[in-house]
C-alpha cells in the first residue's frame, strides 16, 4: 500500500526540493536527527552546509548528547547561504535566528535548495518562537515533533523545556529570538505538559 509518506518521499527525491523541520524540547534528539540526516552528505558530491547562529555558544558544531558531531558554519544571519551554490542547507537551533532568516529559507526553497531545520519550538514560557512560527507558515514538507523524557515525572512525553535560575522556573518575558546561554547561568529540564510551569495569566 502506498502511504502519503511514500508519496512525499518520491516527490522530494524527484525534485530535490523540500523543507524538513525537526522540533522539540531540549534533550529530545534533534541534534541526533540532524546528524543522522546530514552527516552522510560529506561523503557525496552534494554541495551542502550546516549553519548555526553565532548566538549559540555552547559548542562549535552540532553535537548530540548521545554522541556524534556535525561541522557547522557560525553566522549572524543565514543570508550567507544565498552567496553560495548549495544543494542542501542545514540549520541548527533555528529558534536563535530572526524572521529575516526565515525569509532566506523561503528564498533557498524558491531556488531549489533542500533545507533541513532543527530547533526548539516552545520557549521558556511555553510560547512558540517567532521564527518557528514563520517557518511553519512556509508549509514544510515534513515536521517531526520529537519528545524527551520528562525530567520531573520520567514519562517519555516531554514537549516543553523548563528553564531554571537558582532552581526556580525562569519565566521573564524576553525579546524575540533572544538566546539563553547554556553556560551554567540556567539549568534546563525537559518537561511534559503537566509538569511544565507556565507564567501566571494576567
Ligand atoms: N530527559 C531526557 N530525555 C531524553 N533523552 C535524554 C534526556 N537527558 C539526556 N538524554 C540524552 O540526550 C540524547 C538526545 O540529545 P540531543 O541529540 O543533544 O538532543 P537535542 O538536540 O534535542 O537537545 C538522548 O538520546 C539521550 O541519550
Ligand atoms: C528553552 C530555551 C533554550 N534556549 C537555548 C539553550 C540552548 O543553548 C539551546 C537549545 O539546545 P539543544 O539542547 O540543542 O536543544 O537553546 C534558548 O535560547 N531559549 C529557550 O527558551
Q: Which atom of ligand 2 is nearest to the CA of 92?
A: 14
Binding residues for substrate: 124, 188
Distance 165 CA to ligand 2 centre (A): 14
Extract the C-alpha cell encoding 27.
534533550
Give the model's pLDDT for residue 111: 95
Identify the helix (H) or strand (E) that includes residue 69.
strand 69-71
Phi first, then psi: what are they for 59, rounded to 5°? -145, 170
- Residue 16 pLDDT > 70: no
* 8 A C-beta contact, residue 65 and residue 106: no
ipTM: 0.98
Identify the nearest ligand to the CA of 94 by its number: 2
Give the model's pLDDT for residue 175: 75
Q: Is 75 left (phi over 0), alpha (psi -120 to 50) or beta?
A: beta
User: Residue 173 class from Cβ within 10 Å (0-12 exposed, 13-18 middle, 19+ buried)?
Assistant: exposed
- Domain spans of the chain, in order of start: 15-148
Pocket-forming residues, ligand 2, beta carbon under 6 Å: 26, 30-31, 56, 58, 93, 120, 123-124, 161, 163, 179-180, 182
The bridge status of strand 114-119 relative to strand 88-92 is: parallel
21-59 core/surface letters (b: 16 or more CB in 10 A; e: else): bbbbbbbbbbbbbbbebbbebeeeeeebbbbbbebbeee
Q: Is 148 in the pocket of ligand 1 (CB under 6 A)?
A: yes
Extract the C-alpha cell encoding 128.
512558540
Give the model's pLDDT for residue 199: 95
Q: Which atom of ligand 1 is nearest to the CA of 24?
A: 22
- Residue 23 pLDDT > 80: yes
> What is the fold of 15-148?
Rossmann fold (3.40.50)
Place of cell 507556565: 198
Tell me the sheet residues that pair with 191: 160
Give the model's pLDDT for residue 6: 56
- Residue 8 pLDDT > 60: no
Tell me the pTM: 0.93
Name the residue at shortest CA distance from atom 4 of ligand 2.
180
Amino acid at each position: 500500500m502506498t502511504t502519503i509518506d511514500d508519496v512525499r518521499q518520491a516527490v522530494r527525491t524527484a525534485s530535490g526540493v523540500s523543507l524538513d523541520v525537526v522540533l522539540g524540547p531540549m534533550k529530545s534528539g534533534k541534534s541526533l536527527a540532524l546528524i543522522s540526516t546530514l552527516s552522510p552528505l560529506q561523503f557525496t558530491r552534494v554541495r551542502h552546509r550546516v549553519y548555526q547562529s553565532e548566538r549559540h555558544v555552547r559548542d562549535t558544531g552540532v553535537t548530540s548528547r548521545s554522541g556524534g558531531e556535525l561541522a557547522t558554519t557560525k553566522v549572524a544571519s543565514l543570508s550567507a547561504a544565498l552567496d553560495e551554490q548549495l544543494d542542501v542547507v542545514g540549520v541548527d537551533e533555528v529558534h536563535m535566528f530572526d524572521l529575516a532568516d526565515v525569509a532566506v529559507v523561503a528564498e533557498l526553497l524558491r531556488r531549489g535548495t533542500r533545507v533541513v531545520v532543527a530547533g526548539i519550538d516552545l520557549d521558556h514560557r511555553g510560547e512558540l518562537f517567532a521564527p518557528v512560527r514563520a517557518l511553519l507558515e512556509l508549509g514544510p514538507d515534513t515536521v517531526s515533533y520529537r519528545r524527551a523524557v520528562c525530567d520531573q515525572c520520567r514519562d517519555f512525553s516531554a514537549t516543553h523545556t523548563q528553564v531554571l535560575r537558582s532552581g526556580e522556573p525562569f519565566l521573564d518575558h524576553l525579546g524575540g529570538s533572544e538566546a539563553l546561554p547554556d553556560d551554567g547561568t540556567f539549568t534546563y529540564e525537559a518537561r511534559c505538559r503537566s509538569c511544565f510551569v507556565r507564567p501566571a495569566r494576567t
